[in-house]
A = this chain, B = another copy of it.
Amino acid sequence: MAEEMPAHDLEGSVGIVERRYHTFATPDDPFVLESGASLPEVTTCFEMYGELNAAGDNVILIEHGITGSSHAAGRFKPDSKYAGYWDALIGPGRAMDTDRFCVIAPNALGGCRGTTGPSSLDPRTGKPYGSRFPGITIRDMVHAQRPFLTELGVRRIRMVIGASMGGMQAIEWAATFPEMVDGLCMIGSNARQTAQAVAFNHCMRRAIISDPNWRGGDYYDSEPPSVGLAIARMIGHITYLSEMRLEREFDLQALNPWPAPERDDYVRFAVEEYLEEEGRKLVHRFDANTYVWVSRAIDLHDLSRGRGSMREALSLIRARTLMIGIQSDWLFPPEQVRRLTDEMRAAGVDATYWEMESASGHDAFLDEQEKLAEPIGRFLADAP
């Protein structure tokens, strides 16, 4: 997932944006997690585009994917090379129209882009948590976001939206705080993790924790496990793209002569170089522990946990719902999204299914985001 978009289109952009921060909880009044463990302090980094109205009910809440951040739109400096990951969808006159809506995008709990996570300083010790960071869940991410929204004066959420892990947070929002969430949009996501996706995440975690630099997660005073994180990212990237897209984009274009011995930096094919590049890019901006903790949160994702059954969990949702499946997405296949839509309807949810035409695979929600503008804009316009 390339969470940064080349900044090309100034027209309609939200312009220059900045990160904001909110902190709650204290050692005496900690944030209690689903596991029973607690955090003595939770800081959430977020961005906000557009104005909150007096009623506090014009909010669109945006949740990000596994390696995402709060940077959903605009750019930090006039000459930034990259804009936020959904820049084409957010701005004055765009699908998520910042002339009408107040768009809020937080970095998820466990993150490494400003929100409390394993690389944050534990206020009790003054040192990074590392291995002492407690296990977290998608539900914890949702609970951790409510306080700063309340503090901002948010009363109702017109739509909570997310793709991939962002969609997991979005549906947890709708089931956990149904009285607050009027609209839900999930893109290439699910209500419960699949065994295949767990299997991939397992390999990615193994790559990280097998890197000698991982040191059980306590590597902040030394070299980070960049090799392991890069391998994890490479595996992830295969799952983000369709077989067809890899074939179309790289085929078997050869970059280097064969047969060279497999030295540390040997690549033969363009598709290998592409993966290497994605791996290198991630290690410069992302913390390996966050990858481990957040991927586990994804694997633990199960809307039905503690709620009797999936049907009972889904029946908690009051939000009008737009479910989007991506054609050629094999990590979150559209058939599964369609099936979940049916289950939602059977549970009494006002849910609509829309399929995004794409041959690119899961990452189409970023790479071809323009295609999402029409259905999301219509969904918002049709709101009662």
A residues at B contact (CB < 8 Å): 35, 37, 131, 133-137, 192-196, 198-200, 202-203, 205-207, 209-212, 216-217, 227-228, 230-231, 234-235, 237-238, 243, 246-247, 249-252, 258-264, 267-269, 271-272, 275, 292-293, 296, 299-300, 302, 330, 333
Contact = CB atoms under 8 A, between A and B. Distances in A.
Given A195-B247, A238-B199, A231 B258 contact: no
A252 B301 CA distance: 10
A199 B271 contact: yes
Given A210-B227, A210-B231, A259-B300, A267 B135 contact: no
A227 B202 CA distance: 14
A133 B206 CA distance: 29
A260 B202 contact: no
Contacts of A243: 194-196, 330, 333
Contact of A252 (B193, B263, B330): B193
B207 A271 contact: no
A271 B198 contact: yes
A262 to B, nearest CB: 5
Contacts of A264: 209-210, 216
A211 B212 CA distance: 9
30 contacts: A135-B258, A135-B260, A136-B259, A192-B252, A195-B252, A195-B271, A196-B243, A198-B271, A198-B272, A199-B246, A199-B275, A200-B238, A202-B267, A202-B269, A202-B271, A203-B231, A203-B275, A205-B262, A207-B231, A209-B264, A210-B228, A210-B231, A217-B262, A243-B330, A252-B302, A258-B296, A262-B292, A262-B293, A262-B296, A268-B296
Contact of A259 (B134, B192, B195, B302): B134
A103 to B, nearest CB: 31
Contact of A246 (B195, B228, B299): B195
Nearest to A216: B263
Contacts of A131: 261
A247 to B, nearest CB: 5
A360 to B, nearest CB: 13
Nearest to A279: B206
A231 B202 CA distance: 9
Nearest to A227: B210
Nearest to A34: B259
A136 to B, nearest CB: 7
A300 B258 CA distance: 9
